[in-house]
Amino acid sequence: MLKLVELATTRPKLVIAVVLLVTGLFMSQFPKVKTDTDPKHMLPATSAVRVYNDAVEEHFQLHADWIVLGIVNAKGVLNPTTLAKVARLTNAIVGLPGVVPEDVISFTTADNVLADEANLYVKPVMAEVPQTGPELAALRRALIENPLLMDRLYSRDGQATAIYIPLATNANGKIIADQIRGLLRKADDDGSGDEFHLAGDPVARDSFGAEMSKQMGIFSPIAGAIMFAALLLMFRSLVPVIACMGVSMVCVIWAMGGTIGLGIPIHIMSSMSPVFLMAISTDTVHIFNEFYFRFRETADKRRAILDSLRVVGRPLIYTDLTTAAAFASLAVGDIIPVRVFGLLVAFGTLVLLLMSFTLTPALLSLMNADRLAALTRHEDMAEGSSARWLSGLARFSLRYGKAVVAGGLLLVLVSLIGVSRIRVNNNLVQWFKPHSDIRVGDAVLNRELGGTATAYLVVQGGQPDAMQQPEVLSFIEGLQRELEKSPLVGKTTSLADVVKRVSRVMHADDPRYEVIPDSADAVAQYLLLFSMAAKPRDLNNFVDYPMQQANLWVQLKTWDAVGMQQVQQIVEQYKSRALPAGSGKTGSLSIRAAGIAYFNLVWNQAVLWGMLYGFIVSCVLVLFLMSACFRCPTLGVIAGLPLLFTILVIYGLVGFIGKDFDMPIAVLSTLSLGLATDFAVHFIDRYRQRRAEVGPEACMDSVLAWTVARPGKGIVRNAVLFALGFSAMLFAALTPYITVGLFMAAIMLLSALATLTLLPILVKAVRSRPHGRQRER
């Protein structure tokens, strides 16, 4: 490695030119970028839940993605102006590219079957916009009396209707939502009091995707600028600033360019990797830190560079290799974007290591020696105020070691309570701020209509035609009533509702006949009639061709995992109580869940717990690697303690403030892997070097104080720099970025503090024992 440094210091311009050339090559890949923001794709296409979801969509001819346009009017939506608007909007929406035109559902496209004594009438709910009082009253009655329409196309308080818009596969929900907003702008502000709200998973998901790149575009440079200013203040010269920022840019470009070049789409996870790499690359600060001290001592630029890297080099190699290994170990899991992310950051970290021994020394050797002399005047161990302050801190914690450790333990205990309160939940809608259109739209539609999150409960019979048996339909109907008792369930719809509706219509619209008939023949004939009158999909959505599986739709009023968990509990209880034994006509019956709400629940389990698991594996790996680096398990464990301490406290905080353990938080935990150990490694390695330098007779306290003051200053610089940079994200418009910014800053500061206060005490405790002393090199 030092050979590389010698080359960099003798031929700096050549080294810089080569690095720039390679960087240019990686950068040329950027225009090929593909993004993928669908959280579904975090699970492999072959995962059981995705395979079954696809099968259910296929069996029941369902669309995976729906946008819901809610139209709300406090004076009621059944008035000619609003209804004309619904008709106009439906017409316009049907023509939008990406929308499946034949399956858009609104007053004008949904069919209703009406009846009198001798006739059945099949016509759209609203064929023409009603103008007169009686016409409006008739429409109102038609809506209220049809349970298939109520709470779906018309709210109980009469203040809301909706247009349901299915999207073609691969259509972008955000683009279509923007086009719909364009249509709404024309419809707005006519004094009618109509309000419009857009909701649905594709809107949230794709808006998040679009917003994600925008926010990254805004906040990466701001974070960069703040770090730039902070670095300038610390080193008072442009060269280390440019070197530090340049190195992190090079890492980001190589890693992202490489990923893009391989044709791998950038997912939410990997889109955060520039932040990670910038964070990890602040490591370079240790080189400048030591270089300033060394130059002050020797006044020989080339020697100062070589000496700095000789002492900082080993901890740099340790920390970067540990970090790279930790991230690479994420690739062991099943979740593809997490794998990509792990390998991407691992590669970037190795690039950083290479740059630390090439680009950084090359840039440093271009610095003007006279100017350096002026700059480094204050970097003196005895005179420097910050160094004095830091060694004071070391002496304080060494003197009051027991109190400091007790304080730390207390904090750990309190944090454990917090950790026990953590709720694993990922709610995409809540990634937007409370007053954002998406949050408000979702809340309004959940209040007025059936609910925006859909789950399917597939009731499967043992043989064809099982779903036409009256006892099966009664079982399904009973389950619906049970589910509807939960406040989180808004509406349920099933084949039982269809059969009851046809029965009533066939009996001259007599409400007494809104029941499931006694004979399977009657059910079969009603369904045949329904298939003659309605659109095929109106039946296919609820039952498959062989009539062996029925689909019960459950609309939930929340995207939280708890909604679906409750549904599953109700299903289990009801099943154990009411599941028909299964006759020769039905075979044995079973129920299986699917749909986006169920998917989210599984996703929570698989992805978040998977990440947690991967994180624990990485932690063990890190401890092992550090033990290997120091050739001493005790020191390895000690070096891991600030990391564990930091994580516990952070997660304790997450538990106490009631923040869900969601994807951004899970991502953060992996970040701490890359950062929190660095400080400890630098600390312990430099401590050992110093001890070897000054000899075994030197007072241990003073060696530790030196370590806290000198490499410790690098640690503080690194942490502050980082915390400042990421505090910029507190002003982001998406909550995950705020979370990441806030917690990132907290992790850095906390682990720096833990390293500088706890490590001296722990090292002293271990090293004071005789066997520890003997093993000291």
User: Applying CB under 8 A, what is the total number of residues that bind another protein?
Assistant: 43
Nearest to 492 by CA among 542, 552, 443: 552
Q: Beta strands 66-73 and 160-166: pairing type?
A: antiparallel
DSSP state of 349: H
The footprint of another protein on residues 490-509 (CB under 8 A) is 506-507
Contact by Cβ (8 Å): 340, 259 = yes
Q: How far is the CB of 540 from another protein (least distance, A)?
A: 8
Interface segment toward another protein; rule CB under 8 A; list 73-81, 96-104, 221-229, 633-641? 96-104
d(CA 668, CA 213): 19
Give the binding range for another protein (CB under 8 A) out of 3-11, 235-243, 430-438, 512-520: 512-520
Choose the stretch contacting another protein; rule: CB under 8 A; options: 121-129, 188-196, 554-562, 698-706: 121-129
Euclidean distance between CA atoms 75 and 136, whole angstroms: 14
Site for another protein in 513-542 (CB under 8 A): 517, 519-526, 528-529, 531-533, 535-536, 539-540
Residue 142 makes contact with another protein by CB under 8 A: no
Q: What is the DSSP string of 624-693?
A: HHHHHHHT-HHHHHHHHHHHHHHHHHHHHHHHHTT--B-HHHHHHHHHHHHHHHHHHHHHHHHHHHHHHH
Q: How far apart are CA 246 and CA 266, in angstroms?
A: 23
CB of 74 to another protein, least distance (A): 35
Q: Which of 10, 30, 44, 97 binds another protein (CB under 8 A)?
A: 97
Pick 35 or 540: Cβ nearer another protein: 540
Q: Which stretch binds another protein (CB under 8 A): 37-45, 99-107, 637-645, 673-681?
A: 99-107
Between 25 and 533, CB nearer to another protein: 533
The residues facing 113 across adjacent strands are 122
Contact between 204 and 438 (Cβ < 8 Å): yes
Rounded to whole angstroms, how far apart are CA atoms 527 and 524? 5
Minimum CB separation of residue 498 from another protein in Å reads: 12
* Closer Cβ to another protein, 98 or 674, answer by number: 98
Residues 432-471: b if buried by 16+ CB within 10 A, e if exposed: beeebbbbbbbbbbbbbbbbbbbbbbbbbbeeebbbbbbb
Site string for another protein, 46-75 (x = CB under 8 A): ---------x--xx-x--------------
* The only residue of 101, 147, 158, 401 in contact with another protein, by rule CB under 8 A: 101
* Binders of another protein in range 431-470 (CB under 8 A): 465, 468
Q: Which is nearer to another protein, 135 or 509 (CB)?
A: 509
- The minimum distance between CB 536 and another protein, in angstroms, equals 5
d(CA 514, CA 504): 5
> In angstroms, what is the minimal distance from the CB of 587 to another protein?
16
Among 20, 115, 222, 612, binds another protein (CB under 8 A): 115
Q: How far is the CB of 121 from another protein (least distance, A)?
A: 5
Among 251, 328, 335, 547, binds another protein (CB under 8 A): 547
365 φ/ψ angles, rounded to the nearest 5 degrees:
-70, -10
End-to-end Cα distance, the chain = 22
C-alpha count within 13 angstroms, C-beta hemisphere, residue 292? 25
Of 420 and 531, the one with the shorter C-beta distance to another protein is 531
Segment contacting another protein (CB under 8 A): 34-42, 98-106, 248-256, 628-636?
Answer: 98-106
| CB of 17 or CB of 528, closer to another protein | 528
Sheet holding 194-199, edge to edge: 160-166, 66-73, 194-199
Q: Which is closer to another protein, CB of 114 or CB of 440?
A: 114
Q: How far is the CB of 526 from another protein (least distance, A)?
A: 8
Q: Are 450 and 563 in contact (CB under 8 A)?
A: no
Distance CA 478, CA 481 (A): 5
Nearer to another protein, 120 or 749 (CB): 120
The alpha-carbon radius of gyration of the chain (Å, integer) is 32
Footprint of another protein on 161-190 (CB under 8 A): none
What residue ranges bind another protein (CB under 8 A)?
Answer: 55, 58-59, 61, 95, 97, 100-102, 115, 118-123, 465, 468, 506-507, 517, 519-526, 528-529, 531-533, 535-536, 539-540, 544-548
